Chain A
Amino acid sequence: MSTPEVDSGSTIESSPAGPPTGNSFLGDVRVNFTRWNRKAIRNPTAFLLEIVIGLFSLVLFAAVFGDVGEFALAEAGYGDVGYVTFLLPAVLMQATIGSSFNSGIGLVGDLDSGMFEKTTASPMSWTAVFAGKAASELLRIALQVGAVLALAVAMGATIETGLPGAAAIVLVCLPVGVLFMAISNVVGLLARDDEVLNAATMLFMFSLLFLSPAFVPLSDDIELLATVNPVTYGVDAVRALVLDADVATVLDVTAFGSVWNTLVPAVAVLVALDLVFGALAVWLLGRASSANAD
């Protein structure tokens, strides 16, 4: 037992091991998952609004860009693809990004209300706290994507890969969601202001969507920007599942065959970005919850 010196001739002994806390990692994840689900149910406005925005965007973009889109599709060799079908990945990405940014807004809310500090002061694992919150947000993203998919099909969109493809589309949207949840948490931790986050949502959502092949086939003018744009990979992956074809726009992979030539590299890029931005967000969260006197 170490006995560090405290005062002249006096010592303070090392403290004993702590008592069992009754906490477990999975239990901590579950309680935080439950908390954020309860909050969403109690105040469903943001959740419902994201669904409405997704549905509204699908109808609006189809109406406004329909003619131009059909023309561009014909020029790009997608003559047999309806514009609603082509537009579907764009609207799914928009819904996913918009919903993901609510993660940062929730974090800022907890910072403002003192719940962040209160949670930090408890014996819960901070990683479990974050995982529970993220799991709740991913559940809501999956529900929103499902709602937009259902409406798109009702409006005449065709998912060539069928029901399994639809399920895969929901799954592909999740790494996109994780990426933008991480980005929104980084912005939230740096700005600690939900107005900044709202502005950042619009900035990320529209600039990245329009710099990708989301609304119209990719032109040479923006190919370079599209290559470094994560939304491009989300759009490509979803579109590959919608059309059951290799539709990669910036990567040329032939190793997997057909739809997988798009799906595998696109998802790999998204997962890699998740790891990078997720690590950044976790590092910042760890710093915010740490006991260092910054």
Chain B
Amino acid sequence: MTDTSSRTGATDSTGGTDPTTRTDTADRTDATTRIEDTADRTDAATRADGGADPERSVAVADLELTYSDGTEAVEGVSLAIPRGEFFGFLGPNGAGKTTTIKVLATLLNPTDGTVQVNGYDVTERRTAVRATVGYMAQETAIDEELTARENLDFACAAYGVPSAERDDRIDELLDLVDLSDVADRPAGGFSGGMKKRLDAATALVHEPQLVFLDEPTTGLDPKARNRLWDYFRRINDDGTTVFLTTQYLEEADALCDRLAVIRDGEIVERGSPAALKRRIGGEILEVDVGDTEATSDAAVADPAADAAGADERDPIVTAADIARSPEQFGDDATVETTDDGVRVTTRRASERGTDFVVALRQAGVTVERFDVEEPSLDDVFLAIADGETPDLDAADGDPADDEQRDDQRDPVESEVTV
């Protein structure tokens, strides 16, 4: 699978290197990542092709927004979101998430760039955009003096739902968000989770093609959050495109097909949650070790050496030394010792893990537990939020580098094989 725009070094409007170029370079090193990041190349195509595409819910090219006080909230964001996708927009406070979503929901005019939602330009066809999207703001926005049913009735009228359909639609939504039992009670008496669910329902009365959810579960307890997640999954399963901003990484991980991470008004990474974790955080290999085996050649042959260099035979130290050797995981691995063994963060955990265990055994170290884990998305997010995104070009970029690393790995493999 190839991507012409990436291979030719697509550039954004500012002339900078397109982030997707780095993404696609990484793709060439990882077959799985390559499959998951097909959508990323769609983003690149947005800028390459342009055009109102009925298959896209959102098409943004070089969006910029500067407030009147000079604050540049969004700087050159480009996005393409296919219909039916559950898209996550991540970033720390003040990164530009809410500003972007407000532009998409026609609540803010872009300073520059082109933004189409459901095929309509957000500045030229504002009413059409508003009629085809649902918007759930960061703060719960319901009328607490009205009942749940009255809130939904108001929303139906606001979005022009025909009178004949309203009662059925309202009952259906009340059932969907599990508020049928309290439908005729004023919303002011609801819990935070109930208010959020009602708010979400009001954003869906007109069966929008696309719904914007701006940090919808902020402040909710885990139970209420899980219920909303189920609800969001259901509307997405029904074909609604969902654009979610969140700071909860587990939320993005659990719900989203694809993510973009924004920092200081610019998108710094994008891809599926799994791909992002692999690309940025690598994998985590945890090995718990037992005592050094009595059959260790060095210990048996030379008891004096044993006494002189006791910590060399400490199985944890031995394991850490082996892990740190460049032949084992390469130069970019991070090795930490734990109470029971070592923890290695590396992009080659799956690939080299078995070899590592063999190397430990050859050194006389007993392996009691062996586990390869993906890093949490929190690790990825924190790295990006702090501006510590690893140089992916350097890490994964050139296939020649991979070949070179493979060459370096071969002697170790030979040794193990022997």
Please report the total number of A residues contacting B with Cβ < 8 Å: 40
B50 engages A7 (CB within 8 Å)? yes
> Quick one: given A19-B131, A23-B160, A114-B139, are A43 and B145 in contact (CB under 8 Å)?
yes
Q: CA A13 – CA B59 in complex, angstroms?
A: 11
Task: Give chain B nearest CB distance to A105 CB in angstroms.
Answer: 13
Task: Give chain B nearest CB distance to A132 CB in angstroms.
Answer: 10
Complex: chain A residue closest to B15, CB-CB: A8
In the assembled complex, which residues on chain A have CB atoms less than 8 Å from the CB atom of B119?
A: 15-16
In the assembled complex, which residues on chain A have CB atoms less than 8 Å from the CB atom of B105?
A: 121
Q: CA A18 – CA B209 in complex, angstroms?
A: 14
Across the A-B interface, how many residue pairs have beta carbons closer than 8 Å?
A: 148
Q: CA A120 – CA B61 in complex, angstroms?
A: 25
Given B51, B65, B123, which contacts A12 in the complex, CB threshold below 8 Å?
B51
Q: Which one of B151-159, B290-298, B379-387 is at the A interface? A: B151-159
Q: CA A100 – CA B65 in complex, angstroms?
A: 38
A224 at the interface (CB under 8 A from B): no
Task: Give chain A nearest CB distance to B373 CB in angstroms.
Answer: 40
B192 at the interface (CB under 8 A from A): no
> Quick one: given A7-B13, A18-B125, are A42 and B158 in contact (CB under 8 Å)?
no
Q: CA A123 – CA B106 in complex, angstroms?
A: 10
B412 at the interface (CB under 8 A from A): no
B224 at the interface (CB under 8 A from A): no
B157 engages A27 (CB within 8 Å)? yes
In the assembled complex, which residues on chain B have CB atoms less than 8 Å from the CB atom of A39?
A: 143, 145-146
B154 engages A31 (CB within 8 Å)? yes
B107 at the interface (CB under 8 A from A): yes
A207 at the interface (CB under 8 A from B): no
Q: Which one of A74-82, A133-141, A240-248, A286-294 is at the B interface? A: A286-294
Q: CA A45 – CA B155 in complex, angstroms?
A: 26
Q: CA A164 – CA B240 in complex, angstroms?
A: 58
In the assembled complex, which residues on chain B have CB atoms less than 8 Å from the CB atom of A18?
A: 120, 125, 127-129, 131-132
In the assembled complex, which residues on chain B have CB atoms less than 8 Å from the CB atom of A293?
A: 65-68, 73, 108-109, 111
Task: Give chain A nearest CB distance to B227 CB in angstroms.
Answer: 21
Please report the total number of B residues contacting A with Cβ < 8 Å: 57
Complex: chain A residue closest to B111, CB-CB: A293
In the assembled complex, which residues on chain B have CB atoms less than 8 Å from the CB atom of A7?
A: 13, 47-48, 50, 61-62
A113 engages B143 (CB within 8 Å)? yes
Complex: chain B residue closest to A290, CB-CB: B109
> Quick one: given A23-B160, A31-B154, are A15 and B120 in contact (CB under 8 Å)?
yes
B158 engages A113 (CB within 8 Å)? no
In the assembled complex, which residues on chain B have CB atoms less than 8 Å from the CB atom of A31?
A: 154, 157-158
A42 engages B146 (CB within 8 Å)? yes
Task: Give chain A nearest CB distance to B102 CB in angstroms.
Answer: 8
Mark each residue of chain B from 119 to 155: 1 if its CB lies under 8 Å from any CB of chain A, else 0: 1110111111111100101011111111000100011
- Those of B68-82 within 8 Å (CB) of chain A: 68, 73
B339 at the interface (CB under 8 A from A): no
- Those of A43-81 within 8 Å (CB) of chain B: 43
- Those of A98-147 within 8 Å (CB) of chain B: 113-115, 117-124
In the assembled complex, which residues on chain B have CB atoms less than 8 Å from the CB atom of A10?
A: 47-50
A42 engages B141 (CB within 8 Å)? no
Complex: chain B residue closest to A4, CB-CB: B114
Complex: chain B residue closest to A125, CB-CB: B127
B52 at the interface (CB under 8 A from A): yes
Which of B's residues lie within 8 Å of A, judged by CB? 13, 47-52, 59, 61-62, 65-68, 73, 105-109, 111, 114, 116, 119-121, 123-132, 135, 137, 139-146, 150, 154-155, 157-162, 186, 202
A/B interface sample: 8 pairs, CB < 8 A: A6-B61, A6-B62, A11-B51, A14-B121, A23-B159, A31-B158, A122-B159, A293-B67
Given A7-B61, A18-B125, A118-B202, 12 more pairs with CB closer than 8 A = A12-B114, A12-B116, A15-B116, A21-B160, A27-B160, A31-B157, A34-B154, A42-B146, A117-B141, A293-B65, A293-B67, A294-B68
Which of A's residues lie within 8 Å of B, judged by CB? 4, 6-7, 10-19, 21-23, 27-28, 31, 34-35, 38-39, 42-43, 113-115, 117-124, 291-294
